[in-house]
């Protein structure tokens, strides 16, 4: 998970939780008499369910749980209740305090809403939590987090008014939302505001960036910053649909097409190949024997090509099309690729509220 491939910093709470997790693994491996390196391949559901993954002590409420949050609500964003609950669980694994659990749940809800196109003024509304209490599975927020949800961060003078980007998760959440509130719809201004609060600057900015990025989209990021990102070329390549994504798209078309999904994996068909190489003859050579099925697949591909997205490998068009055009039913709305953003042209999906 490191941006450089090496661990250059890890919070004490996370480190201690990882060590505790490893200790529990060793105990389990000895108990059931299997090699330690085979634990990741367990299929016994009872063993998996009984293994306690919550490895933090109670009362641990550092900001590390929030700074890594975004992948969880993004992954589950089509089901808001699941997204919110697993956002909380992701924090509680290493930060056992109730405030850490609820800070992650609330911020996860904000990220889900932002990805779905909820306007910024609604994200910042003091009624956001109240209006979406059904997302929280009947579990009320801790009063300190609820105070933030009601707008405690809305202090014009920031630092002078007591906003602090500290290691305590409540302070960090408040500071990140303050930066989002005063950023004038500018990702750059928001990051600088978060950093210039001082204290735990990188974490405050990382928390801010998750929500601001979901709200503003890829094109809002300063180009000069993008050029300086570590492994930028790898990230650019990662934007394109991988064969697994193409396979998911094929399955989403409904019967009889799911049976062909494995072919696209086996032939390593990427997003760009899908739009530029695949035709009737190629499909036949891949083993799609039914002529009518081949023709329909080609027609669906034409739908992708003729959509408003211009090019699979466009460096930064995709997310903003999702954001601005409200293509919200895509499988991966946080992707910056063409096909993922417009998959609903062929097979619409629906949210679970």
CATH code 1.10.4080.10 for 64-216: yes
* pLDDT of the residue at 291: 94
Cα 12 versus chain centre, distance: 24
- Is the per-residue pLDDT at 344 higher than 60? no
* pLDDT of the residue at 238: 55
* pLDDT of the residue at 326: 28
The domain limits of the chain are 12-50, 64-216, 237-345
Residues 204-231 as b/e (b if ≥16 CB within 10 A, e otherwise) read bbbbbbbbbbbbbbbbbbeeeeeeeeee
pLDDT band at 96 (very low <50, low <70, confident <90, very high): very high
Among 113-127, 196-210, 243-257, the range scoring the smallest mean pLDDT is 243-257
* pLDDT of the residue at 40: 78
Q: Which own/partner contact pairs does 330-333 have at CB distance under 8 Å and 24+ positions apart?
A: 331/245, 331/248, 331/249, 331/252, 332/245, 333/74, 333/77, 333/115, 333/116
Nearest CA to 349 out of 332, 335, 329, 333 is that of 329
Mean local confidence (pLDDT), 169-184: 98
- Is the per-residue pLDDT at 226 higher than 90? no
Residues forming a β-bridge with 79: 352
* pLDDT of the residue at 310: 37
Reported as a single tens digit per residue, the pLDDT across 302-318 is 877 665 343 333 333 33
* pLDDT of the residue at 352: 46
3-class secondary structure per residue, 317-339? CHHHHHHHHCCCCCCCCCCCCHH
* Superfamily covering domain 237-345: Transcription Factor, Ets-1 (1.10.150.50)
**How many Å is the Cα radius of gyration of the chain?**
22
The tokens describing 86, both together, are 């697993």
Residues 6+ apart with CB under 8 A from 128: 109, 110, 113, 122, 149
Residue percentage of the chain with pLDDT more than 90: 58
* pLDDT of the residue at 209: 97
Reported as a single tens digit per residue, the pLDDT across 51-86 is 999 999 989 999 999 999 999 999 898 899 999 999
* pLDDT of the residue at 245: 81
* pLDDT of the residue at 235: 62
The tokens describing 101, both together, are 């659990």
Among 55-59, 133-137, 207-211, the range scoring the smallest mean pLDDT is 55-59
* pLDDT of the residue at 170: 98
* pLDDT of the residue at 303: 79
Query: How many Cα atoms are found within 13 Å in the side-chain-facing hemisphere of 329?
Result: 12
Reported as a single tens digit per residue, the pLDDT across 25-60 is 999 999 999 988 888 788 888 988 899 999 999 899
* pLDDT of the residue at 269: 86
């Amino acid at each position: 998970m490191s941006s450089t491939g090496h661990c250059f910093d890890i919070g004490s709470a996370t480190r201690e939780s990882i060590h505790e997790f490893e200790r529990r693994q060793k105990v389990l491996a000895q108990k059931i008499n299997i090699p330690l390196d085979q634990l990741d391949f367990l299929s016994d559901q009872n063993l998996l369910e009984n293994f306690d993954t919550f490895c933090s002590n109670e009362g641990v409420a550092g900001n590390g749980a929030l700074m890594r949050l975004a992948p969880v609500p993004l992954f589950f964003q089509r089901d808001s209740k699941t997204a919110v609950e697993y956002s909380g669980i992701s924090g509680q694994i290493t930060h056992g305090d109730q405030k850490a659990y609820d800070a992650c749940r609330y911020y996860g809800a904000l990220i889900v809403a932002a990805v779905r196109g909820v306007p910024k003024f609604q994200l910042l509304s003091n009624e956001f939590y109240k209006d979406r209490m059904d997302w929280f599975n009947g579990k009320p927020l801790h009063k300190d987090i609820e105070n933030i949800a009601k707008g405690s961060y809305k202090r014009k003078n920031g630092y002078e008014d007591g906003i602090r980007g500290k290691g305590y998760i409540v302070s960090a959440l408040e500071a990140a939302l303050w930066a989002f509130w005063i950023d004038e719809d500018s990702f750059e201004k928001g990051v600088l505001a978060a950093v210039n609060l001082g204290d735990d600057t990188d974490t405050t900015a990382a928390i801010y960036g998750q929500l601001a990025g979901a709200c503003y989209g890829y094109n809002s990021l300063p180009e000069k910053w993008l050029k300086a990102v570590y492994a930028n070329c790898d990230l650019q390549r990662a934007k394109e649909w991988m064969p697994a994504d193409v396979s998911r798209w094929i399955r989403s078309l409904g019967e009889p097409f799911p049976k062909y999904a494995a072919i696209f994996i086996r032939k390593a068909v990427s997003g760009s190949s899908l739009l530029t190489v695949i035709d009737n003859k190629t499909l036949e050579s891949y083993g799609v024997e039914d002529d009518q099925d081949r023709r329909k697949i080609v027609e669906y591909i034409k739908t992708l090509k003729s959509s408003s997205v211009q090019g699979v490998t466009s460096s930064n068009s995709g997310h903003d099309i999702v954001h601005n055009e409200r293509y919200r039913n895509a499988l991966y709305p946080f992707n910056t690729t063409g096909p993922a953003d417009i998959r609903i042209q062929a097979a619409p999906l629906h949210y679970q509220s």
